[in-house]
Amino acid sequence: MKITQKIARAEKENRVWWSFEYFPPRTTQGLQNLLDRIERMRGLGPEFVDITWNAGGRTSDLSSELVKTCQGVIGIETCMHLTCTNMPANKVDIALREAKLSGCRNILALRGDPPVGQDEWTAVEGGFVHGIDLVRHIRKHYDDYFDIAVAGFPQQVLDPPEVLAQELQWLKEKCDAGVDFIFTQMFYDADVFTRWVKALRAAGINVPIVPGIAPIQTWNGFMRATSLAKISIPQSFMDVLEPHKNDDERVRAIGTKLVADMCRTILESDLGIRGLHFYTMNLEKGTKMLLQELALVPRIETVKPLPGGSLSLRADAPRQYADLLGKSAQELPQPHGELGRVPQRPAYGELDGYGVNIKQTREEAHALWGNPEDLSDIARLFSRFCSGDLKALPWSDLPPSAEMKIITAPLAKLNALGFLTINSQPAVNGANSTDKVHGWGPAGGYVYQKAYLEFFVSPELSEHLIPAIERDPLLTYYAINRRGDLRTNSKTDGPNAVTWGVFPGKEIVQPTIVEAVSFMAWKDEAFELGVQWSQMYEPGSPSRALIENMMDKFLLVNVVHNDFKQPDAIFESFLRIGKEHGLKVDVAVPSKAKAVLVAEAPEVAY
């Protein structure tokens, strides 16, 4: 059934409806977990689900498979995202044909982001330049078989009047070309959304508008998402959330009430909107809490599945899909160190995908990172970031966290020696869960961490470092190159918990782990970000050649020191090997800060 038909029926019955969005995971296990979750969340009563399409089409095959499974096997109405990025017309036609064969009747047509390394949009040969071209193509070849949606951005109402007028004109042209309804980007300001909807109606845009609702899961995720998407946050949100930023359970509970109040304001307004579209981030709890807070009663409708379906994955299912959700897939409270990219996905910013991308434009990248010509220039950039003198790196969207600042001095030294760190956390021995730097989870608990480093290193330097690591029984490591050749001294394939917490009345919580499968999956994205950085520079330029060579030859390594009572021990081998064989880069290294909180008694000593 078309989504507009579902919306019309809900309006006739005078009831509120809701829907969920999911994105393709990156391992077979992650895919199985997601299918189980989608089937379980069907019990929450969504009218439909929609499946994202990664910008550039890197997960396009999996998106199509997910659409087929949701529509034809699980039996829930499905909408498929489709972008123009790196998608010639013949690939678009294949995707549309497969969607139709699976019974899917709904498409979200998006232009997508500019290809990597480009600030301006350029179409792939034989592809489409604008989202409206994709809309026209679908209408031309499929008439009214598909409902077609496009993206809308409430934040645009804060733009200068002439800019808003131009955006509304382009949106109206899409609607006139055959768009049936609009999904909005996430927002947290009901007033901004209301003004934007009224501006659309005044411009003659009368198709249904579906507000995009993003549950607030954690403080870090909330801040990252709003920063990347350039979303305004009402001061009232900040006033009540920020005092609890180290307690993810409290943030989620307060955030649920805030977002629910926003939803009520929209549903009770005179806008005529009776539906909510939840950006789940492939997680269940946040969305479920919102529905419960809104007292929305599930109304389950199942479409007739296609014959012969099964939820079990084929034995030869693709192995390249990396489940980078890590332990966040179990919806545990997340710590606030720099060990963020492996267990936590970058937060939702755009409507058209969740793939890793450098967020800076070419101009911004050049302003931040200049034009490095040798490895010393690269090491200097990394060291400056660790020292707080550089606000971002390709692997780090946000400035160093308060926890990372605990180990600023040794990190800056390591980077100056040629160990280019992209993730790190200090050892922590029983910090109070309410501690402003290390704390997380509910009050009354204690948190622990093993020291962790993840970094790029040249093959020449690694030849000296890895034997030294292997001689230390307390150090475990994984090292991998871009081709996927893995080396490790770990004696088990299972996970190594590097962060855990003990809380009253709860089991021990282990939100952050290190394991081979997740590391190998993250490897693809880590090297991809480096490649994207190189493409910020002109072909043949020294900077591009330098970074491309690094990504081709360097190793990505992670190291865990397994005794959390020895806060400085993880750095010893690096400093010794680096002094003998590393780079000699002059950088301003901050004075050393104590690297750990030690708590032998309930009171924490600094």
Annotated catalytic residues are: 21
Phi-psi label, residue 80: left if phi above 0, alpha if psi -120 to 50, beta otherwise: beta
In residues, how long is the chain?
606
Sign of the dihedral through C-alpha 253, 254, 258, 259:
negative
The CA distance from 564 to 320, in Å, is 33
Which runs of consecutive H residues, i.e. helices, occur in 338-492?
362-369, 375-386, 408-417, 459-470
Report the distance separating Cα 273 and Cα 432, nearest Å: 45
Alpha-carbon span 284 to 298, nearest angstrom: 15
CA-based Rg of the chain, rounded to a whole angstrom?
25
Structure tokens at 240: 């009540």
Q: Is the dihedral of CA 122, 351, 255, 432 positive or negative?
A: negative
Cα(first)–Cα(last) distance of the chain, in Å? 61
- Residue 557: CB atoms within 10 Å: 23
Tokens of residue 270, six digits: 């005179």
Phi and psi torsions of 401, nearest 5°? -75, 170
Between CA 111 and CA 114 the distance in angstroms is 9
Return the DSSP state at 264: H
DSSP 48-69: -EEE---TTSTTHHHHHHHHHH
